[in-house]
Structure 1
Amino acid sequence: MLQDPKLMAAVSKIIQRSERQEDVQKLMGTYVDIGLLPQLNNENHQIFYGRRGTGKTHVMKVLESKLREGMNNTVVYIDCRTLGSTSQFSNTDLPMSRRCLSLFRDILLNIHHELFEHIVECPSKNANTARDEVEGLASLITEPLEKLKAEHVSVEAQASFTNEYGAGAKLKGMVPTMDFNGKHSEANAESTKKEYSVDYEDKIVFPELHRVLSSVLKSAETRLYVLIDEWSSIPQDIQPYLAEFLKKGVLPITAATLKISALEYRCRFVEVKSGNLVGFELGADIATAPDLDDYFVYDRNPEQITDIYSEVLLKHLLAELPENYLSDKFSISTPNQLASRLFTERKICSELARASEGVMRDLINIFTKAFFNAQRRNRTSIDKQAVIESAQQWFEQDKAQYLDDLLQSVLRRIVDEVIGKRQARSFMLPRHLEKNEVIQKMFDARVLHHMQRGYADKDNPGVRYNIYAIDYGTYVDLLGTSRQPELDLEEDRAGLDFIVPFDDKRSIRRIVMDENILSESMG
């Protein structure tokens, strides 16, 4: 089976990053819904998290496609890595307001473009009005604010004076008569001359933006959805201020909805400045949706995760193969059949699911490597050796080389303590330490994985713990040896040395780490 040319070509063509897939139908066809999409397909402002490679962009792209199916929707998808039409936003020598304004203006220009397209392609009964208003929106976005400034004031005074007098004599009868006449006038005039200059201020007037954008949406009879992907690629010092701009410019508009995807530990949505909050107040201004990482924890439900990953692989292969190719030639038409026939047995597919540690990109990469590993060894299906060797290779290529000396040292201490001394693969850490920079970096690097958040240990009341699992790649070389850690959770084994973190009563060893193991001085 692994020697089939078309199957080999299909495996090699699987695109490992959703943003590189230009075919919308393939994006839709390869998506496996785990229950997150229905929670995002609504009119609420939301942020959802997920580590790199968990499928955030795939979710956003599918959500975009679903929303575009609504004739009255205008959907704006923005990849933050493409923002920054000028270099201003990354120049720390410039004022924060100017850096942030350049990014916000890029977002507004994307909104303007999509609104214009919608008005042309789906005209409402007030399309002409909407078109005029959207042109006004463009001016509001791009043109600086004009202000008249008095530069010089001069006063000119004018005065005039007139005095005329006359006298005459004449005889009236025998009596002489004298006549006197006179005229007197004064005039004063004063004129003021002012000279002005035009001062240009680069700013967005939010009340006017709110008025114009609301009017455009009403005239166009459309609802605006703004989907912002890769938020964490924006410099962290700008993020709270850009959030503040969005809070003032988009969130108050009734007919607009904002969705953001981000890395949980690589984003700053709020900052306290002079006693005031700048940015989003999470829960009040914008809600947080479920974390993608929480959906793919292998230990919570191994069978379900294996089924989901089998379906993901099947859909990706079907997208690259001729129609009915797998079913006609190999009698594979369901995820279970793929797990049993493409692999030597289903439990090898489960091993691949475990090795992926809940990260979809790791699943695709390890699977691709395992396929060609087994193919080179003339195997008819993927065996355990192929999965183990590929997982080890992927760990060294994609994870280990990006750990600095401190992270390498801390990881080694954790591995020595958890795997070396206790032959386990998970440990507990007081929840307040999840914000420790070392833990955040190791979690982002995908060498530590959440098994459960906020676990309450009955023997330590009042203290909440996060339970972490150590990455498969750190102990893959120990598999099959006497030093292999316990891989599967113990059934009903509660006691002093064990805890029960899941509802099905399966237990893991109670191994509690403290802040000392994260200390640089221990290295």
Structure 2
Amino acid sequence: MRVEEANRIWASIERRAEKAEGAGALANLVELDDVNPIFDPASMVVFGRRGAGKTHTLLHLRRKVEDLEDVGVYVDMRKISSNAGIYDDDEIAFGTRATNMLVDVIGEVHEELYRLAVLGESELLSANLHRFGPALDKLAEAVTKVRVVGETTLQIETRSRTRDESSSGAEIEAGKTLGARAHSSRKSGRDAEFGTTETRSGRPKIYVHLGELDAALSAIVQALDGHKLWLLIDEWSAGVPYELQPVLADMLRRTFVSTPGIIVKIAAIEHRAKFITSADNVEYVGLELGSDTAETLSLDSRLVIGTNPRPAQTFIRHLLAEHFRSAAGQLAVEDVADPVALSFHANAFPLLVLASEGNPRDAINLVSKAARKARAEKVSADDVLSTAEDYFWNTKYKNVEGDRPLERMFEEFVNTSLERGLRTILFERSDKRRPLVDKLNDRRLIHLLRSGLRARNGGSLYDLYAVDFGSYAERIRLGQMRWENDGFANPMRFHLGDDTESWRQAVIRRRSS
């Protein structure tokens, strides 16, 4: 395969896992060494920023589940929440909004299980349809009950009817003697009828009886003959309104999570997810992570480029190669043993990994743009740097442009970094501007490297961040800044030792107002 042809394939690789799945060409999952817990049969929450690979991982988990002859149901909460905005309607009672969302989740589960069973896509469900069908009916019945909420008026009505009957006549009898006989009669009476009419005024409200729902889910598990049902919930942060998240989590805890034989995996963005809240009449509302579920898994922390960049380089290399092969297979072109070596100069690919900050989606976007820039030539270090600079300012930064508080916060990070000559920044966890920092991290302008750092002599807790590579790329390309392995590229070496005051220079200072 020629370099030009390979670069055209790089430019066409899928950027969203669900789009590739829809085309039947989901690239093989490249597993990190310590991401394997997601495949364990225990309910858990998986955290990760946009592009960290949450959707890709859940879709591959579904494949593995099917290989084990278990049943996997994937639910995208964004598609559920697009239902006319009913979950954000403040005119609808809070509890009703949360219940509606639970009902819609169960509806998605019911629809998917019905499809697998009736269309024959699951041999297990099709073979047990005589048992599974009634269980599905129970599930549907448990969430389709409606009651009217409002005033009820009882009216008693009395209706009467008069009855009047009369008869008269004459008879002539001929015989030995002639005779005549006359007769008449009259009957009258009154009948009364009583009836009641019940009038209801209000609005229809769906309600879920958790006992009936629990029984329906247990019936479904029993029909699986020892196999498990995996509920894979994606886009929790994007699809579930923030204030409803603890309530929906609580409903899931009382139903799916508490049912033996059902495993729930939820993918969410950490700073935009709320799984638990306090309540007056109960201990808590929601899911207690690590108690109601197994330990959480953070894809971001696994993807951080640490002191040794080789693990990240190996992961990104395999990831890109799998996406390349998937795209090449759709185009029916020849396979390539090492597509990265075919398209990249030796010094260019390690630079691309640094520019991606270990984020899979950013790596895919960067390689696609760099390949288009290189055209018929191998991708060079200069191509990577100019691509990283363009991608940062024209794509990532556009997500905060015009939001002055976010722009000012990012400027503080950049200025502090340039003053130190190191891109590592410490931010105090109790600083009231932390929501702004969380947004910058979610949008990948800065990157959380470590949480909960504290100097040896005590004091405040800090989080360690790095400013995105792309914001420096142009300076590096022009020779105004040199990238060295001195803590600038490998910030995991950062320590808050008592014997040096240099760490204090990395702190974003609190504002007095």
TM-score (norm 1): 0.79
Partner deviation per Cα, 1:69-109 (whole Å, 9 max, x = no partner): 222x2211011110044532121221112211221111101
1:479-494 equivalences in 2 (<5 Å): 479=476, 483-484=480-481, 487-489=484-486
Which deviates more from structure 2 when the two are superposed, residues 109-118 or residues 477-486?
477-486
Which residue matches 1:188? Answer: none
- SS where residue 21 of structure 2 aligns? coil
Deviation of the 1:218 alpha carbon: 0.8
Q: Say whether 1:369 aligns with 2:369.
A: yes
Q: Which has the larger radius of gyration?
A: 1
1:137-176 equivalences in 2 (<5 Å): 137-145=139-147, 151-152=154-155
Deviation of the 1:267 alpha carbon: 1.0
1:58-207 equivalences in 2 (<5 Å): 58-71=56-69, 73-84=70-81, 85-120=83-118, 121=120, 122-123=124-125, 127-145=129-147, 151-152=154-155, 201-207=205-211
- 2:414 aligned partner, one-letter code: V
Deviation of the 1:427 alpha carbon: 1.8
Choose between structure 1 and 2 for higher RCO, CA contacts under 8 A separated by at least 6 residues: 2
Deviation of the 1:46 alpha carbon: 0.3
Alpha-carbon distance in 2 for matches of 1:194, 1:341: 85
Which residue matches 2:216? Answer: 212
Decide whether aligned partners of structure 1 residues 515 and 153 sit closer, same or farther in structure 2, where only a CA change above 3 A counts.
farther
Alpha-carbon contact 1:240-1:268 (below 8 Å) kept:
yes
Deviation of the 1:118 alpha carbon: 4.3
- SS where residue 32 of structure 1 aligns? coil
- SS where residue 8 of structure 1 aligns? helix
Decide whether aligned partners of structure 1 residues 508 and 294 sit closer, same or farther in structure 2, where only a CA change above 3 A counts.
farther
Which residue matches 1:160? Answer: none
Give unpaired runs (5+ residues) of structure 2.
160-192
The Cα RMSD (Å) is 3.4
Which residue matches 2:503? Answer: 510
Which residue matches 2:302? Answer: 295
Alpha-carbon contact 1:499-1:510 (below 8 Å) kept:
no
Alpha-carbon contact 2:116-2:125 (below 8 Å) kept:
yes
Decide whether aligned partners of structure 1 residues 129 and 314 sit closer, same or farther in structure 2, where only a CA change above 3 A counts.
closer
- SS where residue 89 of structure 1 aligns? coil
- SS where residue 229 of structure 2 aligns? strand
Alignment equivalent of 1:230, drawn from 235, 242, 246: 235
Percent identity of the aligned residues? 23
1:347-366 equivalences in 2 (<5 Å): 347-366=347-366
Alpha-carbon distance in 2 for matches of 1:126, 1:320: 38
Decide whether aligned partners of structure 1 residues 508 and 20 sit closer, same or farther in structure 2, where only a CA change above 3 A counts.
farther
Deviation of the 1:324 alpha carbon: 8.1
Alpha-carbon distance in 2 for matches of 1:487, 1:40: 36
Decide whether aligned partners of structure 1 residues 472 and 82 sit closer, same or farther in structure 2, where only a CA change above 3 A counts.
same
How many residues align? The count is 460
Decide whether aligned partners of structure 1 residues 70 and 47 sit closer, same or farther in structure 2, where only a CA change above 3 A counts.
same
- 1:202 aligned partner, one-letter code: I
Which residue matches 2:25? Answer: 26
Decide whether aligned partners of structure 1 residues 208 and 319 sit closer, same or farther in structure 2, where only a CA change above 3 A counts.
same
Decide whether aligned partners of structure 1 residues 107 and 386 sit closer, same or farther in structure 2, where only a CA change above 3 A counts.
same
Which residue matches 1:285? Answer: 292
Partner deviation per Cα, 1:321-346 (whole Å, 9 max, x = no partner): 2578354xxxxx24xxx55442222x
Alignment equivalent of 2:468, drawn from 463, 468, 471: 471
- SS where residue 479 of structure 1 aligns? helix
Which deviates more from structure 2 when the two are superposed, residues 315-324 or residues 262-271?
315-324
Q: Say whether 1:239 aligns with 2:245.
A: yes
Alpha-carbon distance in 2 for matches of 1:197, 1:247: 38
Partner deviation per Cα, 1:426-452 (whole Å, 9 max, x = no partner): 122234459811110110111111222
1:394-473 equivalences in 2 (<5 Å): 394-403=391-400, 404-419=403-418, 421-433=419-431, 436-458=434-456, 460-461=457-458, 463-473=460-470
Decide whether aligned partners of structure 1 residues 33 and 24 sit closer, same or farther in structure 2, where only a CA change above 3 A counts.
farther
Alpha-carbon contact 2:449-2:492 (below 8 Å) kept:
no
Deviation of the 1:499 alpha carbon: 9.1
Alignment equivalent of 2:278, drawn from 272, 279, 282: 272
Decide whether aligned partners of structure 1 residues 236 and 246 sit closer, same or farther in structure 2, where only a CA change above 3 A counts.
same
- SS where residue 210 of structure 1 aligns? helix
Deviation of the 1:114 alpha carbon: 2.8
Which residue matches 2:344? Answer: 343
Deviation of the 1:462 alpha carbon: 5.4
Alpha-carbon contact 2:256-2:264 (below 8 Å) kept:
yes
Alpha-carbon distance in 2 for matches of 1:406, 1:348: 36
Give unpaired runs (5+ residues) of structure 1.
157-190, 328-332
Which residue matches 2:313? Answer: 306
Alpha-carbon contact 1:133-1:212 (below 8 Å) kept:
yes
Deviation of the 1:23 alpha carbon: 5.5
- 1:111 aligned partner, one-letter code: V
Decide whether aligned partners of structure 1 residues 114 and 482 sit closer, same or farther in structure 2, where only a CA change above 3 A counts.
closer
Alpha-carbon distance in 2 for matches of 1:207, 1:154: 39
Deviation of the 1:153 alpha carbon: 6.5
Which deviates more from structure 2 when the two are superposed, residues 83-92 or residues 228-237?
83-92
Decide whether aligned partners of structure 1 residues 219 and 23 sit closer, same or farther in structure 2, where only a CA change above 3 A counts.
closer
Alpha-carbon contact 1:427-1:511 (below 8 Å) kept:
no
Which residue matches 1:49? Answer: 47
Which residue matches 1:8? Answer: 7
Alpha-carbon distance in 1 for matches of 2:281, 2:438: 27
